[in-house]
Amino acid sequence: MNPIHIGMIGLGRIGLVHYLNVSTMPDVVIDWICDLKADDTYPEQFPAAKKFTTDYREVLADPQVEAVLITASTDVHMEIAKAAALAGKAIFCEKPVGTDDAEILDVYHGVKETGTLFQTGFNRRYDHNFRRIAEARDAGTLGKGEVLKVTSRDPEPPSADYVKISGGIFMDMMIHDFDIVRYISGRDVKTVSVLGAVLVDPEIGKLGDIDTAIVTLEFEDGMIGVIDNSRRAAYGYDQRIELFGSKGVAVAGNVHTSTTVVATKDGVVGDVPEHFFLERYREAYRTEIVSFFDKVRNGGTPECTFEDGIKAIRLAQAALEALKTGQKVNVKPVE
């Protein structure tokens, strides 16, 4: 099997996750790492990569590179994606796909026209626990879907500095849940209503954001759903999904750091959930990249498309409007 030659653009926290996964894949060659901070320490830090640059155009200009992983900061995703599409590279782009609607749509149409392979990086779709829900749904075990519930709580709130540039709780955190409700339900969302609160950190409130939210959803066929988010769960990363249907319910619980329980006179004590997303979704991050490379090699539609990426943004936009107006808001279409 000929190896796939790739370039990685952006080596922040998530970029590093992908690097560590890809560097263990025998059939993928990392021809380039592009990072604004790339310096002469990089070759030692990232021995699996061959060449280093601070200019992504250098990567795109390399005819051997077939695919790029765009994990740079969100505001330059689309600029890079556009150039990559023009250069004929397959694209894996981290979520959210961008910050500017017009730019996103422009690139979206460009990608469509060029037939570029484009996968959006919503890693949770690849979590094997969540996939078991989708499998039960597809097997008909649950009957007709009626209520979908997602609980998603981070172990600790981000710094105020991060919140400032984060795009707010809907775009930064709940966007994962907006994508997963579409994936798990197999449906689009029609309307969004929001109950938001600042309960974790008053600083977040001063920045105009919220840190705790309950969002209710109407799906296109009458199914309803609810997402609850908190920026801080003292017991660790809390990630649960429940799909309730006419014939049954599927519930994905948390993944705990061990199966061991200790019983004493004070109770039966088990371990807390995996601390945060790097631990909880370690396998999922790997699976999504494997899936991407499979499409690069064999063709086919990515399991998470550009359109999926935009639809999650539309949901976040609707939620923001619902929070501001206190009204139920219709989710806008992609175009």
The footprint of a second copy on residues 135-174 (CB under 8 A) is 136, 141-144, 146-147, 149, 151, 153
Told to check if 222 binds a second copy by CB under 8 A, we report yes
Residue ranges in 63-92 that form contacts with a second copy under rule CB under 8 A: none
Give the three-class secondary structure for 174: helix
Count of residues touching a second copy (by CB under 8 A): 75
Q: Report the distance separating Cα 190 and Cα 222, nearest Å.
A: 9
Among 50, 82, 164, 232, binds a second copy (CB under 8 A): 232
**Cis peptide bond N-terminal to 158, omega within 30:** no
Q: Which is nearer to a second copy, 102 or 263 (CB)?
A: 263
Q: Report the distance separating Cα 215 and Cα 224, nearest Å.
A: 11
Residue ranges in 238-267 that form contacts with a second copy under rule CB under 8 A: 238, 244, 246-267
Residue whose token pair is 């829900």: 133
Among 169, 200, 320, 331, binds a second copy (CB under 8 A): 200
Across-strand partners of 225? 148, 217
Q: Which is nearer to a second copy, 248 or 300 (CB)?
A: 248
Among 212, 287, 291, 317, binds a second copy (CB under 8 A): 212
Q: Which is nearer to a second copy, 61 or 251 (CB)?
A: 251
Told to check if 2 binds a second copy by CB under 8 A, we report no
- Taken in order 286, 96, 55, 61, the sign of the CA dihedral is positive
Q: Report the distance separating Cα 170 and Cα 333, nearest Å.
A: 17
Q: Smallest distance from the beta carbon of 180 to a second copy, in angstroms?
A: 14
Q: Report the distance separating Cα 84 and Cα 77, nearest Å.
A: 10
